[in-house]
Amino acid sequence: RECEEFLAPHGFAGVQVSPVSENVIVHNRPWWERYQPLSYKLTTRSGNEQEFADMCRRCNAVGIRIYVDVILNHMAADQGQTATGTAGSLSEPGLKVYPAVPYSGMDFHETCDIWDWNDRYQVQNCELVGLKDLDQSKEWVRDRLVEFLDHLVE
């Protein structure tokens, strides 16, 4: 209703929404859990795929475009235990295993930390705060990302 009752009447043409892909559930539900995907299922604490599609249709009907913040570089960090996602998926981030995609250890860069932000290799290939860095040089990984983006556009 926000698009119909507030945004459009006040002249807005677009709105950015938080990531819509399934994310890890973190104790106390901090904002940053949304940036730790477990799969590309469209289910978060904000709603499910049907609710997202309904919001997009309703907003587009009144001239509001939806811009989705997407996470394409990494998957959830290791929390020291099996991770549960907002759509019920389970994963083992410590082992780089995300069955709901599916991704396995061979789909990621080797584990390393970013110590020097001026070091291009570290920035492009290492893990930011333990987030498992996808190896986008692999066709399998690129195909999964394209499928996810295509699904969002549908």
12 lies in some domain? yes
Cβ atoms within 10 A of the Cβ of 56, count? Answer: 18
Torsion-angle region of residue 28: left (phi > 0), alpha (psi -120 to 50) or beta?
Answer: left
Rounded Cα gap, residues 37 and 43, in angstroms: 11
Measured between alpha carbons, how far is 114 from 100 in angstroms, rounded to an integer? Answer: 28
Whether 154 has a pLDDT exceeding 90, the answer reads no
CATH number at residue 108: 3.20.20.80
Q: How many domains does the chain have?
A: 1
Structural domain contains residue 115:
yes
Choose among 83, 86, 84, 66: nearest CA to 21. 86
What pTM does this model have?
Answer: 0.91
Residue 154 is assigned to a structural domain of this protein: no
Model pLDDT for residues 104-128, shown as the tens digit of each residue: 999 999 999 999 999 999 999 999 9
In a domain, 39, yes or no: yes
Q: Answer whether residue 148 is part of any domain.
A: no
At 36, is the pLDDT very low, low, confident or very high (cuts 50, 70, 90)? very high
Stretch 131-141: mean pLDDT: 97
Collapsed DSSP state (helix, strand, coil) of residue 5: helix
Count of CA atoms in the C-beta half-sphere (13 A) of 140: 10
Q: Are 132 and 77 in contact (CB under 8 A)?
A: yes
Residue 22 confidence class, pLDDT cut points 50, 70, 90: very high
